[in-house]
Structure 1
Amino acid sequence: MGSCIICGVDVDGGGRICDPHQEDVVFDFRGNSPDQIVPSRFYRGVVDGYAEFGVFVDLAPGVTGLLHRSELDRRLDTLDWEPGDDVFVQVKGVRDNGNIDLAWSIRQADREFRGVLVQDGDAEHLPEEDGDEEDEEPDAGTDAEPVAADESDHEPADTSDGESVGVDKIAAVDEPSETEEPDEPDEIHEVDGKPEAEADDDDVSESDGDEEVDGTEDVAEAEEADADATAEDDEDDLEDARERIDIGTLADAVGNAARIDGEVVSVRQTGGPTVFEVRDETGVVDVAAFVKPGVRAYPDVEVGDTVRIDGEVESHRGDVQVEAEALVLLEGEEAEAVRRRLAEALTAEARPDGLQPLAGDETVAELADGLLDAAEAIRRAVLESRPIVVRHPATADGYVAGAAVERAVLPLIREEHAKSDAEYHYFTRRPLDDPVYGMDAATNDATRMLQDRDRHDEQLPLFLLVGTGSTTESADGIDLLSVYGVDAVVVDAEVADPETRDAVDTLVSPQIDGVDADLSTGALVASLASAVNDEVREDLRHLPAVSYWAETPDRYVELARDAGYDAERVAELREAVALEAYYQSYQDKRELVADLLFEDGGNLAAHVSEQFREKLETEVQTATENTITEAVDGVEFAVLDTDGYTHRYDFPPTPLLLDDLHRRNANGEAYATVGIGMDELYVRTTADVSVRDVAERAAELAPNADVATAGLREGKIEFLSGERDAVEDAVVAALAESF
């Protein structure tokens, strides 16, 4: 029975901390399984790397936890931790699958805790007890020559037969010298089978026995010798006749030696090994190479290089991983052969066989070439291990479109990558408050992608803009991305400007192709998603109907009904998504949206939909009572002061409220609803009126108001607040002329 290091009470099981003081100490974990981790304790860890959703922290080699961004006391992008940094975290819990959930610790130094303990598996002891145990070892003398109990155990490894030698086995570790601390394996190395001090005429530094050797120089020179030896060993190892196997088959080779050829798609340095992500034509796998903790292995290997790797296939927390024994850069014909093989496989796999529009939509079929180009770009990004960033408006239609792509792409990412969390690294949805891809959104995207490139060695992403990016109002944002050569694909069923075709790599829009359509963006993108991954086609059949607020085409109503979604159920989904789209609009809400659209048995959507209706009805009643109706040149106008008679910072958003008001009250072909605020105005009409033309005419009538179109899709016009009354009159007059 042990005693608590804080209060001295007896602790059952030989522990060294009592239950009331569990959170007063920090633990150094030296176990090898997540099952040994104790929830609520504080642990010292090493930053492994960043992701969109948080920070990975190694508590021990092979035992990694996630500190989710929601647990931080600051924004993730302001966290100054770097990979390899020592940090302190609290364990919230360990899941059944071994995933460790971490929490933020305000204490980030040993002195801020009341004590430090070592947790070695299930046992606990004080750090200084490590030294006591090591001092009792029989070979701990200060001046004795290295002595082996069995000389055969200390024979140098013979690599002449081509057998692979691990990077971490190049240096043979013997007994520490007089000036060394225990457990420092890098101070004495064997060179050609002899202790370093006895080596003659070797490439490593030596001592004449009369001078005190500088330990730092000794280590540096020894590491250089290790690197040279590693390179030579790698070349020897790769001369054998071992056959290459496909990465896609590694799951069947766990525990066996394997050789893979491929391209490096990312490199990340952890607190332990260097992890190279390598792909071939069949998949992607992590390759771990170890020199010493936190030291970059194979520093000459970069993203885009072709390599050959010999190693052992292992299962790491359920993910397949290769422990590298030897890794060499391929050059010349060998490198070209690998690149050619990858390119041919990529082209063959990326292009879909064809497009089968949902509900047999003939309008969508007319856009087949563009949609297949977009699908190929998405599939190619997955195969190239490039991140995909989806931008869409924070509306029901926008969320349906984004969720459709997400549903199609995530299974492809899971198939391509061995890591279980790859879908969070390689796919991101970022909703937009406005349907315009402006400089604010583009600057945010450029900042993130450059940070990921520089900090995590990630490739630049593919940007997929759905329901946005196709008008001239998005030109500045698109131009910023193009400066960095980023690929952009735009898919939009609404108004698009021909000038945007040259600004993006792929643009799909009925407007651009001269197709007369009654499509929503959600309907168009759902067919795109089915081309990206036909296996999820059944999951997508109800989405087009969900994306329409009114006048849903019969073909999509019937398709949803065939999928088990009647009109009431479709309305519940639409309203629930619209409500959740408004709150925390900058968040993708991936799991919540998936539950609503794909997994919900009815209760969640019905519950959220009820909230939607209550909130909307309250606002509609207030707005109706305060709407001013007037007739100008035969056109009836309903004008609402949105600053004075709406809750601008609560649901529903102004565009959605005006949409509903207009649908309820429009009573003829000459009807317009205008919502005017402090410096912005929204237009809804029963006629086919160009908002851009209205803004240009209003600018002529109110020349001092700086009137400009801010968003075609939502009928938004901006102006100077000091000219509000003049702009209201000018817009009404311009609309009357347009009917």
Structure 2
Amino acid sequence: LEEIVITSYQVQPVVCRRRMTRLDELGKKVGRTVTLECQVAQIKQTSGPTIFTLVDESGTENAAGFIEAGKRAFPEVNQGDMVRATGDVMMRGGQVQVELARLEVLHGAEAKEVLDRIEKAIDDRAEPADIPLLIDSPVLEKLHPEMRKIAKIIRRAVFTAQPILLRHHADADGICSAVAIEQAVVALINDSGGDFDTANYLFKRAPSKAPFYEIEDIVRDLDYATRDNVRFGQKMPLILLTDNGSTEEDLSAMRMARVYGIPVIVFDHHHPDEVVDQYLDAHVNPYKVGGDYGITAGMLGTEIARLIFPGVDQHVRHIAAIAGVADRSEAPERQQYLDLVADRYTEEECKKIALALDYIQFYLRFNDGKELIKDILDLNKDHDRFRNMVDLLVEEAEFAIAEQMRTCITHVIESTLPNGAHLFKIDVEIHAHKFTFPPPGKTCGEVHDRLCQQYSGKPVVTLGFGPDFVVLRSRGVFMNIPQMVRELREEIPGAGVNGGGHLVVGSIKFVEGMREEVITRLSDKIGKFSTNVN
């Protein structure tokens, strides 16, 4: 026979096209070898193996690659790659894990086919359930499509192992809005096969002292996000702002987030500035559909939480009622939410919970106080501890408020404005206790409440000021604080005026040397607004 010599040839690896296993099927295949087609969501190098977080159309699981202790396995694989993984299914620490024998990066049409399949499936899974609102509200009905959009973005982040960073105003309404979302997201993570550690790295809640996203906040958040991205291979987070995020004061932080490609979504009830919308992926605000601040952030958060994970409905619905009384909503929705939970919590009990939240958050400062807050909101199983804790905190808070009022009420200065409103001023820097509860804003609010009772039926404005700030509270005067801030900034260029809040409740900051002129001009502007005298 004539010998044939092949001189030109190529050696190529051949992959057996065996049936692909979905990640949600791994629990049934322990001890067997499987092949997966997934996207790499995270790569974490440990002192032992390299841990790859894999995502497909059905869920998220971890796979471990090992060459030698502390050395990166499959270094050619990067976060975001489409891969074909082969390995043995094992149980580690009570969780399913694939011990990788092979991890191949897919390219071209093959990678696109896997990506398209995963994207479509995740998009379908992320679509919120079609459930009705808890109450009858024309404003909330108009907001419902955008609330569904926010819920879908959050659900998608969970299904793709994208961390979620929730920033909220550090008052009772802000806490309520954020904790409702927290309960839903953690429940969704657990329902999707995650555990305590997964929930901790995929979701973080952080209070913000100001009612807007400050530079101090975004810098801290970017620092942590970039470190986690480099050290643990985490994706950059989705940022969710609640009870803040709608105003011009948020712009600087949002611009920083955009530099890093971080998506930002907002639900808020402060008067919005349209300029922020260009930096947001979704924006829910009652003012956008003819409503006002009476639809509080906590109400919005409760409804969005139900869309994220309907199973938390009975667990969180009372949070909307607490938020309504906390922010003194006068909208009809407040009473509907109270009626919804009247068999469990009276209006007076909701007020106590709100006060307890304000008190505990003052001492928590920048900490989220996760388990403490859950106890106060009656979200843990120990109902007796909830009652005892709320009663104790309310007793302490009321004593502190009474002491503060006894100290400062005699220093209130009264005058009458041209529009007939009674203007009351108090220097909370020198006539109130500092660095203790209640803080200046709460002190001003308590003084205002007492003056409103004293001057029942008459328009009342209270200004609590310090060296470089003034806190405003109003009843019966149709003010527009954001508008006044813009005008003062232009009229007194050397005062460095900024601030905001709601239309009739808010705070303004300025340089100390211009205090008298700013307060004088501010008083003049308040005196020109129309009033409502009962």
Instruction: Name the TM-score, length of structure 2 as normaliser.
Output: 0.90
2:370 aligned partner: 590
Q: Distance in 1 between matches of 2:429 and 2:238?
A: 39
Instruction: Name the CA shift for 1:311/1:576 in 2 (closer, same or farther; >3 Å).
Output: same
Distance 1:696 1:478, change over 3 A: closer
Is the 8 Å Cα contact of residues 429 and 588 (structure 1) preserved in structure 2?
yes
2:474 corresponds to 1:688: no
Pick from 399, 409, 412: which aligns with 1:627? Answer: 412
Q: Which amino acid aligns with 2:101?
A: E
2:16 counterpart (223, 239, 243): 239
Change in CA separation of 1:551 and 1:448 when aligned onto 2, cut-off 3 Å: closer
User: What's the CA shift for 1:591?
Assistant: 1.6
AA matched with 2:484 = V
Q: Aligned pair in 2 of structure 1 residues 639, 298: CA closer, same or farther (>3 Å)?
A: same
- Report the equivalent of 2:353: 573
**Structure 2: where are the runs of 5+ without partners?**
1-10
Instruction: Quickly say closer, same or farther: Cα 1:398–1:551, change in 2 above 3 A.
Output: closer
Which amino acid in 2 is paired with 1:415?
D
Q: Cα distance, 1:657 vs. partner? A: 2.0
1:297 aligns with 2:73: yes
For residues 180-200 of structure 1, give each alpha carbon's deviation from its aligned partner in whole angstroms, at most 9, with x where no partner exists. Answer: xxxxxxxxxxxxxxxxxxxxx
Q: Name the structure 1 match of 2:6.
A: none
Match of 1:321 among 97, 100, 113: 97
* 1:578-603 superposed Cα distances (whole Å, 9 cap, x missing partner): 11111122111112212221125122
The 5-angstrom pairing of residues 115-264 of structure 1 reads 238-239=15-16, 241=18, 243-264=19-40
Aligned residues: 504
Query: What amino acid does structure 1 have at the position aligned with 2:478?
Result: D
**Contact persistence 1:697–1:734 (CA under 8 A):** no
State the shift of 1:324 in Å.
1.1
C-alpha distance 347-240 of structure 1, shift in aligned 2 (>3 A): closer
Q: Deviations over 1:87-115 (max 9, x none)?
A: xxxxxxxxxxxxxxxxxxxxxxxxxxxxx
- Greater helix content: 2
Question: Match of 1:275, SS?
Answer: strand
Name the CA distance, whole Å, in 1 between partners of 2:46 and 2:37. Answer: 23
- For residues 333-372 of structure 1, the aligned pairs below 5 Å read 333-372=109-148
Aligned to 1:32: none
Task: State the Cα distance separating 1:332 from its structure 2 match.
Answer: 3.5
From 708, 719, 729, the equivalent of 2:520 is 729
Taking the aligned partners of 2:272 and 2:426, their CA distance within structure 1 comes to 28
Aligned partner of 2:464 among 672, 675, 679: 675
AA partner of residue 729 (structure 1) = T
Q: Which amino acid aligns with 1:435?
A: P
Q: Which amino acid aligns with 2:224?
A: R
Please report how far the alpha carbon of residue 396 of structure 1 lies from its aligned counterpart in structure 2 after TM superposition. 0.3
Q: Partner of 1:57 in structure 2? A: none
Q: Which residue of 2 aligns with 1:716?
A: 507
Q: For 1:471-550, what aligned pairs fall within 5 Å after superposition?
A: 471-516=247-292, 518-547=294-323, 548-549=325-326, 550=328
Q: What is the Cα deviation at residue 253 of structure 1?
A: 2.5
Corresponding residue for residue 655 of structure 1 = 441
Q: Secondary structure, in 3 states, of the residue corresponding to 1:591?
A: helix
Specify whether residues 317 and 685 from structure 1 end up closer, same or farther in structure 2 by C-alpha distance, changes over 3 A only.
Answer: same
1:633-676 Cα shifts (integer Å, max 9, x gaps): 22211111010122231111211222222223223342100011
Q: Which residue of 1 aligns with 2:430?
A: 644
Contact 1:320 1:419 (C-alpha < 8 Å) held by counterparts: no
Q: State the shift of 1:700 in Å.
A: 6.8
Decide whether aligned partners of structure 1 residues 672 and 302 sit closer, same or farther in structure 2, where only a CA change above 3 A counts: same
Alpha-carbon distance change, 418 to 730 in structure 1, aligned in 2, over 3 angstroms: closer
Deviations 1:408-446 (A, max 9, x none): 101111233545410000000111011111222112222
Q: CA deviation at 1:319?
A: 1.7
SS of equivalent residue, structure 2 residue 135? helix
Tell me the secondary structure at the aligned position of residue 565 of structure 1.
coil
RCO comparison, higher one (Cα < 8 Å, 6+): 2
Residue matched to 1:179: none
Counterpart in the other structure of 2:338: 557
Query: Alignment identity in percent?
Result: 28
Structure 1 pair 623–276 and aligned structure 2 pair: CA distance change class (3 A): same
Letter of the aligned partner of 1:561 in structure 2?
A
Worse-superposed segment, 600-609 or 633-642: 600-609
- 1:696: Cα distance to partner? 4.4
Amino acid at match of 2:473: R
**Paired AA for residue 694 in structure 1:** M
Distance 1:641 1:500, change over 3 A: same
Match of 1:674, as an amino acid? Answer: L
Work out the CA distance in 1 between the residues paired with 2:485 and 2:55: 52
Secondary structure at the aligned position of 1:561 is classed as: coil
| Residues 630, 262 of structure 1: alpha-carbon distance in 2 compared, 3 angstrom cutoff | same
Matched, 1:377 2:140: no
Helix, strand or coil at the partner of 1:502: helix
Are residues 572 and 685 of structure 1, via their aligned partners in 2, closer, same or farther at CA, if it must alter by over 3 Å? closer
Counterpart amino acid of 2:130?
G
Please name the residue that 1:194 is paired with: none
Deviations 1:242-276 (A, max 9, x none): x2222112223323332222111010111111111
Shift of residue 330, structure 1, vs aligned partner? 2.3
- Mapped pair 1:707 → 2:492: no
Mapped contact 2:44–2:51 kept (Cα < 8 A):
yes
**Alpha-carbon distance in 1 for matches of 2:17, 2:273:** 60
Aligned AA (1:308): R
d(CA) in 2 for partners of 1:590 and 1:691? Answer: 33
Q: Distance in 2 between matches of 1:711 and 1:517?
A: 10
Q: Secondary structure at the match of 2:364?
A: coil
CA distance 1:291–1:697, change in 2 (3 Å): closer
| Aligned counterparts of 1:244 and 1:419: Cα–Cα separation in 2 | 25
Output the CA distance in 2 between the equivalents of 1:326 and 1:695.
Answer: 62
User: 3-state DSSP class of the match of 1:738?
Assistant: coil
Deviations along 1:554-579, one digit per CA (max 9) or x if unpaired, are 101101214x1122322222111111
Point out the structure with max Rg over C-alpha. 1
Q: Indicate conservation of the 8 Å contact 1:273/1:296, yes or no.
A: yes
Report the AA paired with residue 641 of structure 1.
D
Residues 696 and 499 of structure 1: CA distance in aligned 2, closer, same or farther (over 3 Å): closer
- Distance in 1, matches of 2:154 and 2:187, equals 13
Relative distance call for 1:395 and 1:455 in structure 2 (3 A) is same
Q: CA deviation at 1:367?
A: 0.6
Residue 423 of structure 1 aligns to which amino acid in structure 2?
A
Q: CA deviation at 1:551?
A: 4.9
Counterpart-to-counterpart distance in 2, 1:497 and 1:702: 22
Shift of 1:493: 1.8
Please give the alpha-carbon distance, in whole angstroms, between the structure 1 residues aligned to 2:146 and 2:203: 22
Q: Corresponding residue for 1:177?
A: none
**Offset of residue 516 of structure 1:** 4.9
Is this contact kept in 1: 2:270–2:501, CA < 8 A?
no
Amino acid at match of 2:16: E
Distance in 2, Cα, partners of 1:647 & 1:355:
49
Q: 1:665 matched to which residue of 2? A: 451
Q: CA deviation at 1:336?
A: 2.3
Equivalent in the alignment of 2:8: none
2:481–2:500 contact (8 Å) kept in structure 1: no
Opposite residue 468 of structure 2, the aligned amino acid is: D
- How many angstroms apart in 1 are the aligned matches of 2:212 and 2:409? 29
| Superposition deviation, residue 710 in structure 1 | 4.9
Aligned amino acid, residue 290 of structure 1: F
SS in structure 2 opposite 1:428?
A: strand
How many Å separate the matches in 2 of 1:351 and 1:258? 29
Instruction: State the Cα RMSD in Å.
Output: 2.1
- In structure 2, how many angstroms separate the alpha carbons of the residues matched to 1:625 and 1:577? 28
